[in-house]
Structure formats: structure tokens, C-alpha cells
Amino acid sequence: MENRGVPTVMVCTDEFSQLGRNEAESLGLPYLPIALVPHPLGGQKPDRILEKAEKSIDQVVAIATSPVPDLVERFRGKV
């Protein structure tokens, strides 16, 4: 979607940030923005996951609404 001009944000837990970056690079998107959520999510109660999501939403919106050139500079190769 990112290659088609649709703003895209990868969301993953901080524990898997390097895996997310590796996947983005292998797909030819070394600048793909990654929003990090505190690990873990698995095994958590829904209210705890919602709390983590609410704390991360501003980061996701900021990334999704930023100009692409700024994102490329900010996220290229970032872990």
C-alpha cells in the first residue's frame, strides 16, 4: 500500500522492532514507519491491550499524517 501512495504504519511491540525493520527492508521499504507498542500483547486482558493502544494512537496518527519525505528521513534504517 505504501508503494501506491497510501499512508502506512507498521505497528509492532518494542520486542519485535528489529524483526519489523528487517521485514520492511526485505520488502524494499527501508523507510517504512514503525509505531512501537510496549511488549507484550499476547496473553494480556483486553482492557490492558486497549490501554496500550490508546497510549500509542497519537504516534500512529502523527506518522500516518506526516509528509513522506520527512518519514523517509526519520525512519530509514531505524530500529
pLDDT at 3 over 80: no
Which residues have a Cβ under 8 Å from the Cβ of 41 and sit 6 or more positions away?
13, 49, 52
pLDDT of amino acid 79: 59
Tell me which residue of 23, 26, 37, 21 sits closest to 76, measured CA to CA.
21
Tens digit of pLDDT for each residue in 31-79? 889 999 999 999 999 999 999 999 999 999 999 999 888 888 888 877 5
**pLDDT grade for 5, boundaries at 50, 70 and 90:** confident
The rounded distance, in Å, linking the Cα atoms of 37 and 7 is: 19
